[in-house]
Amino acid sequence: MFFAILALLAPVTATVPAPAAGVRPYQSLHLELPYTPTIARIDGEDRLVYELHATNFAREPLSVTAIDLCDAVSGAQVARIDPAGPMRRIGAQAGGATEIAPGGRAIFYLSISWTGGDPKPLVHRITLTPARSGQRPASAVIAGGEFTATRPFVAALGAPLRGGPWTAVALPDIDNGHRRFPYAVSGRVRLPGRHAIDWMPARGFVPGTAGRDVAADGSGADVLAVADGEVVTVKNAPAPGAPASVEDETGAMIVLRLPDGRFAFYQHLAPGIDIRVGTRVRRGQVIGRVGSSGHVTQPHLHFHVADRAAPLDGEGLPYRFGAGRIVGRYASHADFKGNEGWQSAVPRPIDGLPPAHAVVLFAAAPI
C-alpha cells in the first residue's frame, strides 16, 4: 500500500517530442495559419489546401529557402516545398522573390498531397537566411504553424448546372485568381474563394442542353440547387445611385444553406432573381440563370462553399460533387481563353472536386 501511494504521488511526465535536429529559436519570423484546413478531395486525391502566413519582425530581410511539413510528434517529413512557387509577398518589397522585408508579410499558398489517413498534428519547419550587413550569411531552421487538419466533408453535392460541356475554370497559381485573393473586410483575413470554380462554356457547348433560351456564351443557362436547403441570401443588382461597395463585385447572388451548415454561393447571376429568402429548395431545382453581373469579363457561374453566409467574410471550404462526368481537360488557361480544342478523355465521374480546367458534362435539361 505504501508503494502504491508513492506511485500515485509521483509526478506524471508527459511525452514531449524532442526538437528536430537543427531547429532552434530565432528572432523574428512569426508564423500563423488563419485557417485550419479540411482535407479536400480533388480529382481522386486527398489534399491539404491552406495558407501559411509569415511576418518578419527582424531588422534585416529574411530569405526563406525551404518549407518542410512534418509530423509534429515523430518529426517525420510529410512534404518539402520550394517557397518560390507558392510564396506571395504582401506589399511593395525589394529583394529576391523569396525574401521578406523587415515588417513585411508573405503568404504561402500550399496544396499538399495527403496520404496519412486520419488527421494528425503537423508542424512547419522553415529554413531561412538573414541578410545581415557585413556578415557571412548563415541559415537557421525554425518550427511553427502547428495544426491538425479536420476530417473531410462526405456529403456529395448535386450539379450546379445542366448539360454542357462546361469548363471548371480555376487559377490556383495566379495572384488575382480566387485561390490567391484574400479579403479582410471585418478586421480578419479570410479566403472565401479557396475552392471556387468559375463555370464557363467549353468549346462545343450545346446551349439547348443547359436550359431554354440559352445563348452560346452560356447566358440564361439554368442554375440549380446543389442540395436540399434554405435560401438565406438573395442579392439583385444594386439600386441606381447606390454607393459603390466591394461586395458589388459578386453581382446578383444567391446563398443556400446546406444541410450540414455550410453555405453554397452562386454569383454573377442574371438580374431579376425570383426566389425569395427563406424559401426551401430541393436538389436539382432551378433557382437562377447564368449571367454576367458584377465584376466579370464574360458570362459565367461562380460557385463556392464557405463556413459563413457573408460573401467576402467566410473561409472557403472544400466540397464534393456527386454529379457530372469529366470528359476532358484544357491543357492550359491560354488554350481555354484562345478557344483552342480541349483534350478528350474517357468519361469518368467527378471524384471530389474536378481539376483546374476540366471539361464536364452534366445531365441535359429536359426537353
Same domain, 230 and 132: no
15 within some domain:
no
Cis omega (within 30 of 0) on the bond before 28?
Answer: yes
CB 224 within 8 A of CB 284: yes
Same domain, 227 and 125: no
Given 124, 148, 172, which residue is the final one in a domain? 148
Same domain, 40 and 140: yes
Q: How far apart are CA 161 and CA 289, in angstroms?
A: 9
Same domain, 198 and 75: no
The CATH number of residue 62's host domain is 2.60.40
Q: For position 163, what pLDDT does the model report?
A: 97
Backbone angles phi, psi at 9, to 5 degrees: -80, -15
Give me the residues of the chain with pLDDT under 50, please: 1-19
Same domain, 101 and 199: no
Given 130, 148, 166, which residue is the final one in a domain? 148
14 within some domain:
no
Q: How far apart are CA 232 and CA 263, in angstroms?
A: 9
Q: How far apart are CA 8 and CA 332, in angstroms?
A: 66
Same domain, 127 and 182: no
What total of structural domains would you count in the chain? 2
Same domain, 305 and 169: yes
Q: For position 235, what pLDDT does the model report?
A: 93
Same domain, 219 and 144: no
349 within some domain:
yes
Same domain, 167 and 243: yes
Same domain, 165 and 277: yes
115 within some domain:
yes
Same domain, 191 and 246: yes
Q: For position 13, what pLDDT does the model report?
A: 33
Q: How far apart are CA 266 and CA 306, in angstroms?
A: 12
Given 148, 166, 190, which residue is the final one in a domain? 148
pTM: 0.90
Q: How far apart are CA 288 and CA 267, in angstroms?
A: 10
Q: What b/e string do you get for 176-195 counting C-beta neighbours within 10 Å, with b at 16 or more?
A: ebbbbbbbeeeeebbbbbbb
Question: Residue 8 gets which letter from DSSP?
Answer: H
13 within some domain:
no
The CATH number of residue 306's host domain is 2.70.70.10
Question: Which range marks the domain in which residue 229 is found?
Answer: 156-361
Q: How far apart are CA 288 and CA 16, in angstroms?
A: 55
Q: For position 2, what pLDDT does the model report?
A: 30
174 within some domain:
yes
Same domain, 92 and 202: no
| 3-class secondary-structure state, position 152 | coil
pLDDT tens profile 1-26: 333 332 323 333 333 344 455 666 66
4 within some domain:
no
8 within some domain:
no
Q: What b/e string do you get for 16-46 counting C-beta neighbours within 10 Å, with b at 16 or more?
A: eeeebeebeeeeebebebbbebbbbbbbeeb
